[in-house]
């Protein structure tokens, strides 16, 4: 048997937490001991969205000082392990208000913990043959720092001495790697996460923006730093409560007058802009949909493309899948770069103070130009579900925000956190939004 390190044990926890049926959303390595190592959540590089619940915490044995290098069985054939399963009162896993009382929540968390431990036993004993462990001891705990935290402390002993106990498998063990490498954690932290499903079902909720101060903001990623020579496509369902020039998709800096955005304003028109102040002169491509073409209170699918040619002729605009005759307001970009350091935002742009008063649903961005046929397919709801179709193109998909999606939008302690189900893993967090901003209003 190859030497096993504690970090490999931790990797097993990490991989298992990421399994869809684990019931857990977050894993942290190192707990309550300052000397221990805090690992970023692998769902969320850089830990941008913060901790999610229910979560698993691994308390490293105190006598281990250097967990990266110490061989687990080099120290002892029996190592006590303590795990903490935590959940937060008030909200369910999908961010909706908790309907269970605290006792019921505690009971459900215990079920998650027991299923996880049963699977862990199977993984450690049978799949990786790391060792066996004693019967786990489950103890409810309180947390002195957060009295809203529900905690189950689970302690057990990893050993080679007791026989393995069979367990039911709730998790599909075939999804875990066949062999466990010491670098697994690092690999997932820097590479493509093992579960990042483009194909996860479209959400059955939309997100309501108040037009005042609410938006969703993505972390910095070079993939979103569009240039005047970049090809890209913005796509979303949107419903307007007023036409107030709100930037519903933007990568824009008013201070620099640089970037790109899609808005809806004067004359009930969609407007698509690329702007640059390179060289001190303002250059703009600005195209608009026909005058008075839209009404409030109605869902539209809006898709715009730009092919990187530096001209208004390089843009196209589709409403409900139909390519429209756009009017050109400006065509003076003249090779100016639209790159800026602002974050990509949905629902409002704080640099201009122009916020969407309305709903958004299933926003997607590609780093290529979608064809008219693909634009039409994107705008066609799936007849079997009545929801948005799966993305027509996954290879160049750099953003898929399942705005308000039950499975990929989670309400944290005070804001919504969004995964990006695309080739890019940069996640997003809302600003000034509440649980009630997720609605069942759909196209």
Partner 1 sequence: MAHNRYYIINANDPNCEAIVDLCVGSHTSQRFNIAKTQLVVKLHEGDHEQHPELEGYTEYNHDEIIEALNNNEWQVPPIE
Is position 250 an interface residue for partner 1 (rule: CB under 8 A)?
Answer: no
Choosing from 24, 56, 171, 354, the residue that interacts with partner 1 (CB under 8 A) is: 354
Size of the site for partner 1 (CB under 8 A): 36
DSSP string across 33-57? -TTS-PPPPTTSGGG-S---SSEEE
Q: Among residues 285 and 303, whose Cβ is nearest to partner 1?
A: 285
**The one segment of 77-85, 220-228, 281-289, 375-383 that binds partner 1 by CB under 8 A:** 281-289
Choosing from 10, 263, 289, 374, the residue that interacts with partner 1 (CB under 8 A) is: 263
| Residue of 345, 315, 320 lying closest to 248 (CA atoms) | 345
Choosing from 142, 143, 146, 213, the residue that interacts with partner 1 (CB under 8 A) is: 213
Is position 431 an interface residue for partner 1 (rule: CB under 8 A)?
Answer: yes
CB of residue 267 to partner 1, shortest distance in Å:
11
Is position 244 an interface residue for partner 1 (rule: CB under 8 A)?
Answer: yes
CB of residue 211 to partner 1, shortest distance in Å:
5
Q: Are 325 and 178 in contact (CB under 8 A)?
A: no
Is position 415 an interface residue for partner 1 (rule: CB under 8 A)?
Answer: yes
Of 17-76, binders to partner 1 (CB under 8 A) are: none
How many angstroms separate the CA atoms of 273 and 264, rounded? Answer: 11
Considering all CA atoms of the chain, what is the largest pairwise distance in Å, rounded to the nearest integer? 78
Q: Among residues 235 and 263, whose Cβ is nearest to partner 1?
A: 263
Is position 351 an interface residue for partner 1 (rule: CB under 8 A)?
Answer: yes
E-only strand ranges, 391-436: 397-401, 409-411, 416-418, 428-431
E-only strand ranges, 203-356: 206-210, 215-218, 232-240, 246-253, 258-265, 269-276, 283-288, 299-306, 315-319, 322-323, 327-331, 345-346, 348-349, 354-355
Is position 335 an interface residue for partner 1 (rule: CB under 8 A)?
Answer: no
Beta bridge partners of 259: 252, 275
Is position 337 an interface residue for partner 1 (rule: CB under 8 A)?
Answer: no
Helix axes 6-17, 102-122, angle to 10 degrees: 120
Is position 402 an interface residue for partner 1 (rule: CB under 8 A)?
Answer: no
Q: 373 by DSSP, 3-state: which?
A: helix
**The one segment of 106-114, 174-182, 311-319, 352-360 that binds partner 1 by CB under 8 A:** 352-360
Alpha-carbon torsion (252, 270, 385, 205), positive or negative: positive
Residues that bind partner 1 (CB under 8 A): 208, 210-213, 241-242, 244-245, 254, 257, 263, 265-266, 271, 273, 275, 282, 284, 286, 329-330, 350-354, 357, 414-415, 431-434, 436-437
């Amino acid at each position: 048997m190859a030497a096993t390190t504690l970090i490999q044990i931790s990797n097993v926890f990490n991989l298992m937490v990421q399994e869809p049926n684990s019931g857990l959303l977050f894993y942290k390595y190192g707990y309550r001991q300052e000397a221990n190592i805090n690992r970023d959540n692998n769902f969320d590089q850089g830990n941008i969205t913060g901790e999610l619940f229910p979560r698993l915490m691994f308390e490293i044995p105190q006598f281990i000082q250097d967990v990266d290098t110490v061989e687990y069985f080099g120290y002892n054939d029996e190592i006590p392990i303590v795990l903490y399963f935590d959940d937060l009162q008030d909200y369910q896993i999908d961010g909706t208000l908790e309907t269970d009382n605290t006792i019921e929540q505690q009971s459900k968390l215990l079920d998650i913990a027991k299923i996880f431990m049963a699977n862990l036993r199977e993984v450690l004993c049978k799949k990786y043959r790391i060792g066996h462990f004693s019967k786990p001891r489950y103890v409810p705990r309180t947390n002195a720092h957060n009295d809203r935290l529900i905690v189950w402390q689970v302690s057990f002993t990893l050993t080679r001495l007791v026989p393995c106990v069979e367990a039911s498998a709730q998790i599909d063990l075939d999804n875990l790697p066949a062999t466990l490498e010491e670098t697994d954690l690092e690999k997932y932290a820097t590479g493509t996460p093992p579960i990042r499903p483009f194909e996860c079902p479209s959400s059955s909720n939309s997100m309501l923006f108040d037009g005042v101060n609410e938006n969703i903001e993505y972390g910095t990623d070079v993939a979103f730093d569009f240039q005047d020579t970049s090809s890209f496509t913005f796509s979303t369902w949107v419903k307007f409560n007023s036409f107030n020039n709100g930037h519903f998709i933007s990568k824009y800096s008013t201070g620099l007058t640089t970037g790109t955005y899609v808005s809806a304003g004067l004359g009930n028109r969609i407007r698509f802009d690329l702007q640059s102040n390179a060289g001190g002169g303002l250059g703009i491509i600005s195209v608009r949909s026909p005058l008075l073409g839209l009404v409030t209170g109605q869902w539209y699918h809006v898709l715009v493309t730009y092919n990187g040619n530096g001209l208004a002729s390089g843009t196209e605009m589709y409403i409900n899948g139909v390519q429209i005759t756009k009017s050109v307001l400006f065509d003076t970009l003249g090779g100016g770069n639209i790159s800026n350091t602002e974050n990509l935002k949905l629902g409002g742009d704080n640099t201009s103070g122009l916020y969407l008063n309305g709903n958004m649903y299933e926003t997607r961005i590609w780093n290529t130009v979608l064809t008219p046929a693909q634009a039409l397919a994107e705008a066609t709801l799936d007849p079997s579900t009545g929801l948005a179709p799966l993305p027509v193109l996954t290879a160049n998909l750099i953003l898929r925000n399942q705005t308000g999606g039950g499975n990929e939008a989670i309400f944290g302690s005070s804001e919504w956190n969004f995964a990006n189900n695309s080739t890019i893993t940069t996640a997003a967090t809302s600003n000034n939004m509440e649980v009630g901003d997720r609605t069942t209003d759909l196209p």
